[in-house]
């Protein structure tokens, strides 16, 4: 009898493990539980403007599930007075290049409230990406030819068109052409500190 109970318990455990493995495999097969991860180290020296001294530093993580349905962003900031922050974004652009905004963290509320204890955590979907509906007119070249300009963040740098999906955001992150930029009262144009975003090591 004890042997029968022992075999039953072993069989039950094996079946439970099997069903759990199937459920986990199914979640992974749909890309819900596996992620692409990117990181950016923010520092004033990454800003392309005139050199200045600042104690500001930061570290940010961008996580995108492999089904590309959404993304989570966590950023830790030190050395900045919250009252001095005027804006915080993710832009697209190569190192040292100013580019358009793709994620405006101001849309989630006053940054003085959304950055708590030096940390900002948000989840985004396609609807949270910046999409410019009325781009400025492109400049004219000689002969009246109009040079096409990207309206927002292009899927390929220097080409027209806009990224308006998390899939596009992920593609830009893989190429290393996204960056965090924190703006303050004293450094409103270029920013107080910037952090180029790259695939996370390891």
Instruction: List residues bridging with 76 in a β-sheet.
Output: 59, 119
**Six-digit token string for 118:** 């030096």
**pLDDT on residue 150:** 42
Pick the closest to residue 105 from 91, 95, 84 (CA basis).
91
**pLDDT on residue 147:** 42
What HEC string does 55-97 produce?
CCEEEEEEEEECCCCCEEEEEEEECCCHHHEEEEEEEECCCCC
**Residue ranges covered by each domain of the chain:** 1-30, 35-199
DSSP assignments along 6-73, one per residue: HHHHHHHHHHHHHHHHHHHHHHHHTTSS-EEEEEEEEBGGG-SSS------EEEEEEEEETT-S-EEE
Cβ neighbours of residue 162 closer than 8 Å, sequence gap 6 or more: 131, 132, 150, 151, 152, 153, 154, 155
Q: What is the pLDDT along the chain (202 residues), one digit of tens a residue?
A: 556 655 555 655 555 655 555 555 555 578 778 899 999 999 999 999 999 999 999 999 999 999 999 999 999 999 999 999 999 999 999 999 998 999 999 999 999 999 999 999 999 999 999 876 554 555 554 555 444 444 568 777 666 678 889 999 999 999 999 999 999 999 999 999 999 999 998 6
Cβ neighbours of residue 72 closer than 8 Å, sequence gap 6 or more: 62, 63, 121, 122, 123, 124
**pLDDT on residue 149:** 42
Tell how far CA 25 is from the center of its chain. Answer: 27
**pLDDT on residue 160:** 66
CB count, 10 Å around CB of 5?
A: 9
**pLDDT on residue 28:** 59
Cα gap 185→86, rounded to integer Å: 6
């Amino acid at each position: 009898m004890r042997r029968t109970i022992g075999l039953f318990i072993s069989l039950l455990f094996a079946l439970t493990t099997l069903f759990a493995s199937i459920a986990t495999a199914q979640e992974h097969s749909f890309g819900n539980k596996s992620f692409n991860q990117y990181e950016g180290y923010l520092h004033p020296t990454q800003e392309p403007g005139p050199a200045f001294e600042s104690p500001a530093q930061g570290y940010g993580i961008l996580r995108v599930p492999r089904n590309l349905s959404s993304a989570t962003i966590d950023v830790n900031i030190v050395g900045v007075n919250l009252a001095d922050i005027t804006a915080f974004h993710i832009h697209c652009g190569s190192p040292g290049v100013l580019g358009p905004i793709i994620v405006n963290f101001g849309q989630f509320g006053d940054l003085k409230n959304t950055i708590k204890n030096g940390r900002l955590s948000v989840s985004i979907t396609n609807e949270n990406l910046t999409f410019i509906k009325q781009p400025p007119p492109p400049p004219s070249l000689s002969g009246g030819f109009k040079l096409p300009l990207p309206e927002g963040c292009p899927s390929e740098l220097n080409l027209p068109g806009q990224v308006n999906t998390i899939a596009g955001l992920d593609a830009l992150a893989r190429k290393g052409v996204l960056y965090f930029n924190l703006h303050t009262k004293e450094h409103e144009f270029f920013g107080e500190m910037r952090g180029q975003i790259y695939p996370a090591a390891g």
